[in-house]
Structure 1
């Protein structure tokens, strides 16, 4: 969604500064609070956004640790608009209230994006720390087959959320391929066609169409990390760090038993 949101802002003339949250990762004890390791993961995220098609003209990547240290006496002077997820709305409200305390005008506009639910039932928010809840670059179509899709229910329907907030903004359409005897291929261009989806398309067909669309988005990213030497080396480092992190978490859990 980061690429989609940034490209939307760019399309209306915004200059975008993406502040990578390395300082907050350290505060939350990620990667053993080792800033070098955290930066490796941050660089990996930046490469993914670029490979996914983020329009980079007038887009600048900053590190929160550096910005806080360089500008400790200032208060995010560079932002007219703060673009974060709905899960950060309380922080955004606090930021605007703080402007009153320090007697500054021109409070930042808060632009909150929708939060995707996890793939499985009961997962309120997708999390990169829970592999069952999110779609990653290397994931196969089988993962979407397990996604939550309650028949004829729109509210909280994970598959429909992905169609609405990922597929439609990316392609401006959602294609469902069917055999001619079953009505033929149907290309939907409006989300109001949701009712048709719910009534006419089986769970298996819808998930297959969703998997195909997500793969079209992810394949250029996979190709980049397969063919670009720097990206390939970075991916190896991230996988190594992820493996070490998982091992340490397992050891900590065993020690508590």
Structure 2
């Protein structure tokens, strides 16, 4: 099952400078599917390329991406979700940011709901290798060709299967190989967790978590003073808060330095490494920003009876990955 993300509204058509790519993350305006409202009419090729390229931690290949954007006004970009329980913010928030960037650059985004893949795959490490596990990467590769995707925009953890799709193009003599645009994997909240995992609820923030849960999880998160590398709290600011709000506000007393606002990650890094920003001030600001993003989701599950019932059923599932 596939669903397609609509284009952005023409009210946001002003071509952004390359240094303001992050500001394209979120649109609060109603979407339009009309090609005449496509903001790419006012964008240069270089601007479109920089926006799309900014999503990927890795791109295979950059020259192919530039050539694609030059020749195709609305390239098809594919991403997939396996319905495997509760959705955490790496899926719900970060994906929103990336999709809005892609549509702002003229891409048509097709999101593939991998329900069949979810049914055939077990979720226990104790299981032996089954035929389903062998078929899984083949099915995922087939998605790329079935959707006629020009770009595979998945996480770094899906890199191998995307490369497999490119290699298959050599076998079938297909010249237009799908471009791989692999985004950064948002880490878990605890030390050394390179990827947010649903199997550890305290290390993941879920889309329907209430305010108290978010506050507690961020409070317990790994956040060493003056250290940026491997600091999940700072990564959340970089990949979620700054793209969403275009700034990150620290609120603190005058005795502790007063309020401080950051509009880019480099400034925040320098300030944090200097010791001028303590984790005890960073964490509440991060929790407050995340709660602001998640509040509309909470209201949806609170006020919509169907959504409320669905959430109740999903929460009883056992997710072991």
TM-score bin (small chain): 0.7 to 0.9
Alpha-carbon shift at residue 149 of structure 1 (Å):
0.9
The equivalent residue for 2:227 is 153
> Are the structure 2 counterparts of residues 151 and 182 from structure 1 closer, same or farther at C-alpha, using a change threshold of 3 Å?
closer
| Cα distance in structure 2, aligned partners of 1:76 and 1:107 | 13
The equivalent residue for 1:89 is 159
- 1:1-257 equivalent positions in 2, closer than 5 A: 1-30=94-123, 75-136=145-206, 137-138=208-209, 139-193=213-267, 194-198=269-273, 199-239=275-315, 241-242=316-317, 245=318
Larger relative helix fraction: 1
Secondary structure (helix, strand or coil) at the match of 1:111 reads: strand
Which structure 1 segments of 5+ residues have no match?
32-64, 250-257
Alpha-carbon shift at residue 167 of structure 1 (Å):
0.7
| Cα distance in structure 1, aligned partners of 2:233 and 2:191 | 11
Alpha-carbon shift at residue 234 of structure 1 (Å):
1.4
TM-score, normalised on structure 2? 0.60
What is the root-mean-square deviation in Å for CA atoms of aligned residues? 2.4
Alpha-carbon shift at residue 5 of structure 1 (Å):
1.1
Count of aligned residue pairs for this structure pair: 207
Alpha-carbon shift at residue 141 of structure 1 (Å):
0.3
Alpha-carbon shift at residue 73 of structure 1 (Å):
11
Alpha-carbon shift at residue 133 of structure 1 (Å):
2.1
Deviations 1:74-93 (A, max 9, x none): 93342111110011111111
Which structure 2 segments of 5+ residues have no match?
1-93, 125-135
> Are the structure 2 counterparts of residues 178 and 14 from structure 1 closer, same or farther at C-alpha, using a change threshold of 3 Å?
same
TM-score, normalised on structure 1? 0.74
| Cα distance in structure 2, aligned partners of 1:185 and 1:126 | 30
The equivalent residue for 1:62 is none
| Structure of higher RCO (CA pairs closer than 8 Å, 6+ residues apart) | 2
